[in-house]
Structure 1
Amino acid sequence: MIASETLTEDSLLNGKVRLLQPRDGYRAAIDPVLLAAALGARPGERVLDLGCGVGAAALCLLARCPDVEVDGLEVQETLAELARRNAVLNAVEGCFGIHLGDAAKPPAGLGGYHHVMTNPPFFERGSGTSAANESRAMAHEEKGLDLAGWLKAAVKLLRPKGRLTLIHRAERLGDILVGLRGRGVGDVVVVPLWPRADRAAGRVIVSARKGVRSPLRLLPGLVLHGEGGEFTPQANAILRGAGALDPLGCAEDKS
């Protein structure tokens, strides 16, 4: 059991989601909220949060789409424990199951998902100074799997015509597109996220469907902050009002 004094209780979606997370270590910010908002999941569909951490993205998705079934896969035992506690805290333990395991070798029985959403480690192994906190380092820096291996694992867990959605640093878009090549996916969609209208995109949301051959689409993105630093109305609707960021054309995925 994790000692309560090492945790904080925070909230997302303007209090719709309550979140226990480590005081020190990886802490969820807006990335999992944006990731969950990009899924066009429909009632009855099965979703996997690959590398779910404490469950932030999964809980945000369930706040928007309460009629889906979500599994989380997490390699760090302490974070998996917190994800289970957060499921209870948010009264969604019946539709959010957490599995302890590695993306490189998922537990038996996982697979066939309509959606896999993921926020992979951002940095290549050895690309910089690792965080002093081991849990934070594991969340930020590739360890067992590189990005290409992570994407391969994610696609394998999808059902035919299922959709992979990830959020990542914009500078690694080239690596993502290379990693998806030859994986049997199509309808690749790229949505840039700009910190301000006059700044380069810092994040991208990338989506792809398994077993389809539609061409790549570069879609209008989302500006997060106005000139005064406040969230734009569009970003505010997503981050605080549980609105959807669904420019991915997911509504057309009827098969």
Structure 2
Amino acid sequence: MRTERFADEELSRDAFLGGRLRIAQPRAGYRAGIDPVLLAASIPARAGQNVLDLGCGSGIAALCLGARVPGLALAGLEIQPAYADLARRNATENDQALEVFTGDLTDMPPPLRQRQFDHVIANPPYFDRAASTPARDPGREHGMGETCALAEWVAAAARRAAPKGQVTVVQRADRLPDLIPAMAAHLGSLEVLPLIPRQGRAARLVLMRGRKGGRAEFRLHDGPCLHAGAAHGRDGEDYTPAISAVLRDAAGLSFPG
């Protein structure tokens, strides 16, 4: 776990959403890919609603959502003090209000335990370390290696969701056998949106959401392709137009129907 504040020389400044955001990330440590951007794009939030990002890291998902939907009340919870500090700095540098709590999702700070949210979002660690190799950097390892069970992430998110509030999680597709029963234990109206890397390929990531008190039937959607073509055939990025609009133009990524 990284506790010491990052020095400026340890950080890079990276553009997100076509330069709408400039995000400081550690050069060596946990660095976000497109996953939190896609998560943020999928949230059907409206101005005036409040959103909690569990395990917010450097704040990318919350700040991407705030850039797309002005007028939200944004909060984040991050267990690593150095990353919580970085999220606060990124919010300030991007002129957004993001209230960041430092703490463990299984023992949240009392002021956070007293609140409920219209949307709770999470990008939990992907890797079960019983079957994978830990990262060398402690900050990166805490962001990628599971120390708290996925079911506990979902339970914590559901507790913070308001009645009829939504919980949305991005996770590896091979964790669906764990994620579906965890969500079903606390939420209803469950939906899964697979994220297909290329046409004809199996999904590697999924977005899954549920509603507090929801009663609709489970839905497995036809998911979007992230990349154009059956293979990477040229230098540079080859995102599909819809995904490029999400990543570069702050477009939404809606669940069908």
TM range (shorter): over 0.9
C-alpha separation between the residues in 1 aligned to 2:130 and 2:185?
26
Match of 1:164 among 163, 167, 172: 167
TM-score (structure 1 length as normaliser):
0.93
Q: Deviations 1:171-203 (Å, cap 9, x if unpaired)?
A: 1111100112321x1110100001101211010
The percent of aligned pairs where both chains have the same amino acid is 45
1:96, CA displacement in angstroms? 1.1
Match of 1:206 in 2: 208
Q: Does 1:240 align with 2:248?
A: yes
* AA aligned opposite 2:199: A
The change in CA–CA distance for 1:248 and 1:119 in structure 2 (over 3 A counts) is farther
2-side partners of 1:192 and 1:132: how far apart? 30
Q: Does 1:113 align with 2:100?
A: no
Partner of 2:184: 181
Partners of 1:181 and 1:34 lie apart in 2 by 23
**Does structure 2 conserve the Cα–Cα contact (< 8 Å) formed by 1:187 and 1:212?**
yes
1:122 — aligned with what? Answer: 126
Residue 211 of structure 2 aligns to a residue whose secondary structure is strand
Unaligned runs of 5+ in 1: 250-255
RMSD: 1.1
Which of 37, 40, 56 aligns to 1:36? It is: 40
1:78 aligns with 2:86: no
Cα shift readout 1:16-65 (whole Å, capped 9, x = no counterpart): 11100100011011001000000000111010000000000011001101
Structure 1 residue runs of 4 or more that deviate by more than 3 Å after TM superposition: none
1:55 aligns with 2:63: no
Residue 5 of structure 1 corresponds to 9
Aligned residues: 245
State the Cα deviation string for residues 136-169 of structure 1 (Å, max 9, x = none). Answer: 11111111x2001111111011111100001000
What's the secondary structure of 2:111's corresponding residue?
coil
The answer to whether the 8 Å contact 1:163/1:210 transfers is yes
Quick check: 1:207–1:248 contact (8 Å CA) kept in 2?
no
* 1:248 Cα deviation from its structure 2 partner: 5.6
What one-letter code is carried by the residue in structure 1 that aligns with 2:219? R
Post-superposition CA distance 1:215-248 (Å, at most 9, x none): 1111121101012460100111111110000116
Residue 17 of structure 1 is matched in structure 2 by 21
Does the 8 Å CA contact 2:184/2:190 hold for their aligned counterparts? no
Structure 2 CA distance, aligned partners of 1:221 and 1:36?
16
Is the contact made by 2:68 and 2:251 (CA closer than 8 Å) also made in structure 1?
yes
